[in-house]
Chains A and B, each alone.
Chain A
Amino acid sequence: MPAVTETIDTVQSVTEGTYKWGFETDIEMEFAPKGLNEDIVRFISKKKNEPQWLLDWRLKAFAIWKKMEEPVWAAVKYPPIDYQDAYYYAAPVQKVKPKSLDEVDPELLRTYAKLGIPLKEQAILAGVEGAGETPSDAGRMPVAVDAVFDSVSVATTFKARLEKEGIIFCAISEAVQTHPELVRQYLGTVVPQGDNFYAALNSAVFTDGSFVYIPKGVRCPMELSTYFRINAKSTGQFERTLIIAEEGSTVSYLEGCTAPMRDENQLHAAVVELVALDDATIKYSTVQNWYPGDAEGRGGIYNFVTKRAHCRGRRSKVSWTQVETGSAITWKYPSCVLLGDDSVGEFYSVAITNNRQQADTGTKMIHVGKRTTSTIVSKGISAGRGQNTYRGLVRVAPTASSARNFTQCDSLLIGDQCGAHTVPYIENRCMTAKVEHEATTSRIAEDQLFYCRQRGLSEEDAVGLIVNGFCREVLKELPMEFAVEAQKLLQISLEGSVG
């Protein structure tokens, strides 16, 4: 199996298991005053030169948030968050807005280059270090990247090329200026302001994120990608992404993220909204690699994210693929509301918790349209003292005749100090619907390990190989560059968990 061979090679080239993305960029930053109040919301809105309607929208969200209580139902434990003890806006100081990539602060370009994301148009998204050295690069598809640094988007590549096709790919703050009608039409229609505690917070203080619009009948010629980087201390990142796929269009979008190693916990509360119209397809892939904290559970990102897709059109399709290796705590349920007849929702997930990481993640598939189908494949891996929970809902409305769902959740336990939990909810009100769920929990089989060891693999490599096999169904859904990066990440995330 070439992918696995490649993984082992890659893994062997990786040095000791440290979080390599944990460096800090020293760059002049501009902050909003610490704390959260109506003035901060106004400050952010003013910074972004937003129209009145958007400020009003934010203020309404803030008012809702103040009345809400933090959710406590997830199987995660953390000390109370002081929402007043953080910066809600942090941006690299820019004298003038750069007109082209050449004008972007070279320090920022270096940061992204170091992360393996060269913000150069001839370059590809070299998700793996060393990938640039392989000769096959020349033939690969380019990837357009929107780079978000703390609260702002610092650069977007391939904009001109995409514009030729009528595709809009830019920072959402830019879209508010250039395409206000589209933003206004769709913003908050999938995840309303009061949807949940973190979504309300995000709606009030979101700073940047990507905006994607694929016009009718267009197949996006390249992968679109956003790379999120938290850099500044004591900041929260609140990005908001909105993707609209018009009738008959197709787009594949990737999301990556990293943060410096710090002893403090930083909050990342994003909202992602996807809208797929008739015959449109959106593929959304995430490799989540926020700083997970150290072995004792100090520091790390709280990743409290709301992601939801509306399949509004007939035969529309949304596919979520996520590889969750980072974050101290993950609270995330990418969902599909299948409204259009014959629409399709998919969720493929690998979640790893090692050391003291906690993940409560899963999906919701809400079947409303006729003959809607959904597939859920979730692979949870717990090691160290990690706690990993799959939490999912499949709901079939009486209108969803002949709807179909298949769910498979498998958990793998490595070590006897960790936990793996499965909490699926099935709610069916339609006689002709068919829902199937299966879940298994086990540890790596001794005979599999023995087999690998006998062929000369070290125990750690053997575990890596077996884990990659365990996750294969999900990893094969990822675009290629990401798949390679993800496999490598799995190995790194599990380092120190064996023996």
Chain B
Amino acid sequence: MTALVTGAAGFLHRFEGLQQRLPGARLPFVQALREQAAEAFRRQGFPTRRIEAWKYTDLRPVAEAGFDEALTAMDDSPALPPAHGAARAVFVDGRFRADLSMLDGLSYGAESLAAALERQEGRLGALARPVEQPMAALNTMLFEDGLVVTVPAGVAGGVLDLVSLGTASERPEAFHPRHLIRLEAGASLTIIETATGPAEARYLHNPVYEIEVAFGAVLTHARLQQEGARAFQLSTAYARVEKGGTYDNFTLNAGGRLVRNEIHTVLAGPAATCHMNGAQLLRDGQHADTTTFLDHAAPDCASRQTYKTVLSGRSRGVFQGKIHVHQVAQRTDGYQMNQALLLSPEAEIDSKPQLEIYADDVKCSHGATVGAIDAEQLFYLRARGIPEARARAMLVEAFLREAIEGVQDEAAREALDAAVTGWWDRQGEAA
């Protein structure tokens, strides 16, 4: 076996070697996107903490690990997480597995990107900005597969499970799925995404999402990040919401060793709505970073963000949230709240909410709080005969519930609820 080249050079090296074998090698528009992304990644490499957007997240553990491309054994039958709906798309190590998926008889289109690549000209890369986001550059350079979803006008798509499984192998693997999701006028869909892997598996999951929500469409996107304890997940989502459309994103960060979720949402048409909520449940030496960019680029739009972080052990949580209100975006209503609960003296939270406002008729606010469990609340519960451990659990649960309650879709809310309860139970066992 040859030694792995680490860092950015390793990925560039792999790109040069694989270029002709990657999907779309004969499609000029795909090749042009990959070349441009490779150029950007060659120039920037992995972001360092000197870059303002990466001030609190150090990617050296990722850069220093050597990664191999995923070698998927096609004859395995891995255990799948519980289903939330009838439709399911399963990816193992970033590759679509038709044998594990259930996409037949749907009222909308859902297929593997690798299989449908030649039809994605103009859609692939329409929203992603690899020149600005190095992880999106890495994804564009090396993506092999992903999910393409198209919900036609007026169709209510129901619930779609999107499952990503990482597997254990001798060498750390990296996979970079690219998901393209489009809801046409008046359509609706709920995607419940579960990303998980075995505790001992070392892998990098680096997905990029390009999400288009057309006139009056409603997309609920619940993400349960429950990667294995040694895994890395660095995701970048781009969403564009047209007039009267709604994008409802909830990201639960519970697994992984080093995780960053970056969400870029553009409210592009008047009266578009965006909810971005999330919870980070961290323990041991976990590092999780939620970074949101919200562009109010049209008038009369509303956005709501509530992010909650619970930290125990030596974990470190990061929240960065920027709301940019363009000059045309009059009558913008923007609200953002991020709160952190520290359960351990060794945990750290870094938070950077940010408002950048160029329109005058706006109502924008943000709030941030950091603290421990309130002693008075604890006392209140204990005075009513509730044991301390139970009382603490109740307070943490109540703290998190506030973010989950913001999720409009019932199926998504239930899935998130179950995941949070599960996390706390496991936490209780460990303590």
A-to-B contact residues, CB < 8 Å = 73, 398, 411, 413-443
Contact = CB atoms under 8 A, between A and B. Distances in A.
Contacts, number: 114
A418 to B, nearest CB: 7
Contacts of B354: 421-424
B371 A419 contact: no
Contacts of A427: 348-351
Contacts of B348: 427-429
- Interface residue tally of chain B, by bracket? 35 or more
Nearest to B312: A431
B178 to A, nearest CB: 32
B359 A436 contact: no
Interface string B354-389: 111111111111111111100000000000000000
Contact of B355 (A425, A435, A436, A439): A439
B355 A443 contact: no
Interface stretch (B145-153, B168-176, B277-285, B336-344): B336-344
Given A411-B357, A439-B355, A422 B366 contact: yes
B370 A432 contact: no
Nearest to A407: B368
A431 B345 contact: yes
Contacts of B369: 434-437
9 contacts: A415-B360, A416-B360, A416-B361, A422-B354, A427-B349, A435-B370, A437-B369, A441-B363, A443-B361
Nearest to A405: B370
Given A73-B52, A436-B368, A439-B366, A424 B360 contact: no
B347 interface: yes
B367 to A, nearest CB: 4
A413 B371 contact: no
B360 A414 contact: yes
A437 B353 CA distance: 9
B97 interface: no
B343 A441 contact: no
B352 interface: yes
Nearest to A393: B352
Nearest to A410: B365
A438 B369 CA distance: 9
Contacts of A439: 353, 355, 365-367
Given A424-B352, A438-B365, A439-B365, A419 B357 contact: yes
A424 B344 contact: no
B327 interface: yes
B360 A435 contact: no
Contacts of B368: 424, 426, 435-438
Nearest to B322: A423
B345 A443 contact: no
A19 B46 CA distance: 50
Interface centre among B347, B352, B357 (most CB of A within 10 A): B357
A427 B319 CA distance: 10
Given A423-B352, A425-B352, A439-B367, A431 B358 contact: no
Given A421-B357, A431-B342, A443-B362, A438 B367 contact: yes
Interface in B314-346: 327, 330, 340, 342-346
A431 B327 CA distance: 40
The secondary structure that dominates the A interface is: strand
B17 to A, nearest CB: 38
A166 B4 CA distance: 71
A438 B366 CA distance: 6
Nearest to A443: B360
B340 A416 contact: no
Nearest to B335: A440
B350 A426 contact: yes
B362 A413 contact: yes
A441 B370 contact: no
B353 A440 contact: no
A66 B370 CA distance: 40
Given A424-B354, A435-B369, A440-B364, 15 more contacts: A398-B345, A416-B330, A416-B361, A417-B327, A420-B355, A421-B354, A422-B366, A427-B350, A428-B340, A429-B347, A431-B344, A438-B365, A441-B355, A441-B363, A441-B365
A430 B367 contact: no
Contacts of B365: 438-441
A254 B253 CA distance: 50
A427 B362 CA distance: 29
Contacts of A437: 351, 353, 366-369
A34 to B, nearest CB: 35
A441 B357 CA distance: 8
B357 A430 contact: no
A127 to B, nearest CB: 32
Contacts of A440: 363-365
B356 A419 contact: yes
A439 B363 CA distance: 11
Nearest to B344: A431
B352 A419 contact: no
Contacts of B345: 398, 430-432
A308 to B, nearest CB: 21
A20 B260 CA distance: 53
Contacts of A415: 360
Nearest to B336: A439
A177 B36 CA distance: 64
> Which 9 interchain pairs have the tightest Cβ spacing?
A413-B360, A437-B368, A435-B370, A422-B355, A434-B371, A426-B351, A440-B365, A431-B342, A438-B367
Contacts of B366: 422, 437-439
Contacts of A416: 327, 330, 359-361
Nearest to B325: A441
Nearest to B365: A440
A415 B327 CA distance: 11
A158 B362 CA distance: 51
Nearest to A446: B361
Contact of B370 (A73, A417, A434): A434
